[in-house]
Amino acid sequence: MAVFPTWPRPNFAPGGDDALVRYAIFGKLDLSVPIDRDKYRSATVPDGLELVQYDRDRQQAGFHQYFSSRGWKLAAEESPEMAYAAETSPNMAVLRGFVKDPATLDYLRDCIGVVAYLFDRGAVTVFDPQTFHLWTADEWRNELFAPGHAAPHRHILILRSPEDHRIGNTEWIHTRGMRKFGRPDLSVRGVGPSYQLKVIELLNLYIDYQAHGGEILADDVVTLDGLPAEGTCYPNLQVDHPDFHNAHVEIMWPGTGLSG
C-alpha cells in the first residue's frame, strides 16, 4: 500500500472539535476507473467521511439542497459560468462527514486527492459551501493539489462587511471555513480604516496557527505590532450561529477599540 508524507499539525493538543468536510462535485462523472493512489497522493476517502453519488434524473432533491442555499447564490454571483455548469450537470458526488479531533491534516490531503481524481473523471466544478466558492479544475490542481502541503489560507474565506456608518466608517472582518480544521472561526467588529490591514494580518496568523492544531483559549490576549494592547479573545461555542455555522472567537478591544 502506498505511503504518503504526513501533513503535520505541530501545534496540536487533543480535545478539540471534529473537522467538518463537505464538498459537492458536479459534472458527467465516470468513476469506473479506481483512484490511482500514487498519482493523487490519496489513500482513500478518510475515515468518518463518505463519497455519495447522485444522478439528476433520479435524485433531484440531492441537487436542490445545494442550489437553493444562500451560499450557492453568493457563489453563483461570483462565478456564474461555473454555477451554470453545475446546475446543468447530470451527476453530483458529495464528499462529506466528520473527522474526529484530527491529530494530522492527512484527511485533508486525502480529500484534495480524491477531488483531483474526480476532476480527471469528468467533474467540471466543485462547490465548497463553507467558503461559498466554486472551484475550477485548474484552481484546484494549482492552488490545492500541486503545492503538496495543506495551504490552509486557500481553504478559508476572510470577509469584510461594512458596518453602520452612523457610528463610523468601520468594518466587521471575520472568517468562514475553520470548521474544516475543527477550529472556531474568527471575528473582529468595529474595525476602522487605519487598522483593517493589521486585523487581516492577525486573522491570517490565527488561521495558520489553528489549522496546524493550535487552540485559542478564553481570555487569551492579542499581541501584534500595530494593534492596540488588551485585545482579548472570547470564544462562542454556538456551532449553529447563522453568521458562521461554526463556533467562533470574538476578538474585542476595550473602549473605542479599533474604530480609529
In the numeric block, the cell 498519482 is attached to 39
Longest Cα pair distance anywhere in the chain, in angstroms?
A: 62
Q: What is the Cα–Cα distance from 85 to 80, expressed in whole angstroms?
A: 9
Phi-psi region of 231 (alpha: psi -120 to 50; beta: other; left: phi over 0): beta
Taking the complete model, does pTM exceed 0.85, yes or no? Answer: yes
> Measuring CA to CA, which residue among 253, 125, 235, 108 is closest to residue 177?
108
Residues 230/221, Cβ–Cβ less than 8 Å: yes
Tens-digit pLDDT profile for residues 4-30: 889 999 999 898 899 999 999 999 999
Three-class SS state of 179: helix
Give the number of other Cβ atoms within 10 Å of residue 237's Cβ: 10
Tens-digit pLDDT profile for residues 139-187: 999 999 999 999 999 999 999 999 876 556 899 999 999 999 999 999 9
Tens-digit pLDDT profile for residues 117-145: 999 999 999 999 999 999 999 999 999 99
Give the number of other Cβ atoms within 10 Å of residue 51's Cβ: 18
Tens-digit pLDDT profile for residues 41-73: 997 899 999 999 999 999 888 898 899 999 999
Q: Residue 208 pLDDT more than 80?
A: yes
- Residue 52 CA, chain-centre distance (Å), reads 20
> Measuring CA to CA, which residue among 117, 136, 119, 120 is closest to residue 128?
136
What pLDDT is recorded for position 165?
65
Phi, psi of 104 (to 5 degrees): -130, 175
What pLDDT is recorded for position 167?
59
Give the number of other Cβ atoms within 10 Å of residue 101's Cβ: 14
What pLDDT is recorded for position 242?
86
Who has greater pLDDT, 258 or 1?
258
